[in-house]
Each structure stands twice: as C-alpha cells, then as structure tokens.
Amino acid sequence: MRTATLLLLAATLAACAGAPTPAAPTARASSDAPAGPGTSADVPDADETRDEDSTTRPAPDPSDATEDAAGQLRDAAEDAARSARVRGTTADAARRVGQAARDAHDHADAQARTPSPDDPCTFSMYHWSTVERRAVQRRTVRQTRADLAPDEHDPDDPRCTVCEEDQATIVPAELGIPGVAPFQVCVHWQDALEDALRTIADDGSFEIRELVGYRPGRTRGRIENGLRMELSNHSYGTAIDINASWNGLYRRCNVEVSPDTIGRCQLGVGGAWDPVRNPRLTITRDGLVHRVFTEHVGWRWGGDIAGATKDMMHFSITGY
Ligand SMILES: [Zn+2]
C-alpha cells in the first residue's frame, strides 16, 4: 500500500474517531507513583523517595486535548508513518490501520460523547502517609462530574479524570500477553495503548509480565499533617507502569541512565534495572518498548526525564 493511501486512511479515521492527540511534553519536576506488581497502594510510594524534587506544574490548557481537527489529521498521518517504521513493513502498517478502524467503531461512542455535569463520577481515593509510610484515609467517593475539583482532571489531558466512569479496561490476554491481569486506563488512550501493547507482544523480543495503569491516590507533592496532597498521573489513567520488578524507580540520579551509570543512583521502588542481565524484561532507551511508546503512543519514558528521579517502569504524557 502506498504511503499516500495510508495517510488518507489515517486521516479519515482521525476525523471519524477523534484519535488521541499526544500533548506536548511540559516541564514538570515531580513524578508520580508506581507500585510493585500485584500490590495495592500499600507499598512505599515512589513520590516518597523524591522530596528533593519540586512540584511545579503548568496550568492546564483544555485546548491542548481536543477539537483541533487539523492537528488530529496531521498527527494521524504522522502516526501512520511512524507505524510503518515501527513495524517495519507497510503491510503491517495497513493491518494496524484496519485494527484501528475496528477499535474506533468499538469505542467511538464512549470517546465522542461529551460528559454531562450531572453524570456520575465514582472513585476510591487515599493519601500517602509520610509518617506511617502507607496508604491512609482510604474512601470511596460517589458524586457527579460537576463536583470534580480542578486537580481531579488531568492537567496534561483534561478529558481524563479520576472518575472510574472515564476509564476503560484493557485485557492483556486479548492482546497476546498472557498471565497479566486486566487493568484500566483513561478511555481516550485505550486504543493507542492497546495497539502499543499488541505491537510489543507481536514482536516477541520483550516479555511483559506486569502492567499497572489507573490507580487514584494522593501520593506526591506537598505534605500537610504528614499526608501527601497531590495526585499521581496514574490517578487519571494517563500513565502505565511496565514490569516494575525489573524497572525500578531510582532517586538521587542526576545522570543519563545506562548500565554504566545506574550504580550511582539509589533504587527506591520496584526491582533493579539491569538490561544486561534481563534484556527481555528491561526497558531501555534504544529498545522496542521505548520506541513503541514514544513514537507510536506519543508518551515519554520516566527514564528520560530531567531531575534526580528516574522512573524506569513508567510511561506517561510528559514522562513524569
Ligand atoms: Zn508510574
């Protein structure tokens, strides 16, 4: 299939389904909080390891995330071109476009519908206690969308919120990743993330054993009365942790991470990052998982972010 045809197909899809538009990376010094495999929030929280980082965030700009039709067409065209590179052949790119079309029809209703302020919004929330070093004040909130606080919308993609109603379930087994429990992500990123995971599974050179997505919690930023007050970006379903047991979060890490430099960093959460010893389980800058997530989804890797923290399991819109 010719590239021009691919681009046209992708553009048509974008116009029909409203393809996710990756937000531009923004400077932000605070990171969010991964948890280990199969754990609840009752694990030492990643943010707990990074008091040295500041927590400035840019003001949310709702226009970033929506309605820029020209931008969506351009992004879809670029995405198709990236897809061809990632998968190596135009035939695979065509297959991807076909799959995207089916996904678009499956999810168009959920993604196209504009939520009403009267719609229900349900979530469970906790604070991380810096004193007890565990999750506390766990509670379930049932409210309407009109009751959402400003910080309960993702500042990097305000379509995504803490509401369970905005999340979609990804079933790894259906993507060729057996033995990994279903998890949730913001519905607006479901197609892109499923496609990325399917691409990784199809390639076969990387083994996904652990995945964490949506997980609301106030685990970062400022502390009041021993409690963390700010939301992790996992709280909105706009972050994913992959193989935490082999891609830990490091602190005091003011270096570009590599097998030669990681020894200067301090492991905070998760397992040691050792691409030499565990090449099929470890995320690296020149590896398949990094390429698929950065080029295909448009997210950034927590191992590439500036600052003293390097979150090797973590991908999100900004990498933080
Ligand atoms: Zn994470």
Ligand 1 centre to CA of 115 (Å) is 27
In a domain, 183, yes or no: yes
**Nearest CA to 67 among 185, 150, 188, 153?**
188
Ligand 1 centre to CA of 239 (Å) is 6
Ligand 1 centre to CA of 90 (Å) is 33
* Beta strands at 218-224 and 227-231: parallel, antiparallel or unpaired: antiparallel
CB under 5 Å of ion ligand 1: residues = 34, 239, 241, 314
Query: Per the confidence metrics, is the pTM higher than 0.75?
Result: no
Ligand 1 centre to CA of 216 (Å) is 12
What are the start-end ranges of the H helices in 18-164? 69-87, 90-112
Per-residue pLDDT of the chain (320 residues; tens, 9 = 90+): 444 444 444 444 444 444 444 443 333 333 444 433 333 334 444 544 333 333 333 333 333 333 333 344 444 445 444 444 444 444 555 555 555 555 555 555 555 578 999 999 999 999 999 999 999 999 999 999 999 999 999 999 999 999 999 999 999 999 999 999 999 999 999 999 999 999 999 999 999 999 999 999 999 899 999 999 999 999 999 999 999 999 999 999 999 999 999 999 999 999 999 999 999 999 999 999 999 999 999 999 999 999 999 999 999 999 99
In a domain, 80, yes or no: no
- Under 8 Å CB-to-CB from 256, ≥6 apart: which residues? none
Structure tokens at 34: 């991964």
Question: Which structural domain range is residue 206 located in?
Answer: 28-63+125-316
In a domain, 190, yes or no: yes
Q: What is the CA radius of gyration of the chain?
A: 19
CB 310 within 8 A of CB 247: no
C-beta contacts of 50-54 below 8 A and 24+ residues apart: 50/251, 50/268, 50/308, 50/309, 52/251, 52/252, 52/308, 53/29, 53/307, 53/308, 53/309, 54/29, 54/30
Domain count, the chain: 1
In a domain, 294, yes or no: yes
CA distances from 91 to 5, 19, 96, 152, 298 (A): 12, 21, 9, 41, 22
Ligand 1 centre to CA of 5 (Å) is 37
In a domain, 5, yes or no: no
Ligand 1 centre to CA of 221 (Å) is 15
Ligand 1 centre to CA of 4 (Å) is 37
Ligand 1 centre to CA of 164 (Å) is 18
In a domain, 97, yes or no: no
| AA identity, residue 67 | E
Ligand 1 centre to CA of 97 (Å) is 28
Task: Give dist(CA 173, CA 281) in Å, integer.
Answer: 18
In a domain, 120, yes or no: no
Structure tokens at 278: 């565990």
Q: Is the dihedral of CA 53, 266, 38, 191 positive or negative?
A: positive
CB 320 within 8 A of CB 302: yes
In a domain, 218, yes or no: yes
Ligand 1 centre to CA of 32 (Å) is 6
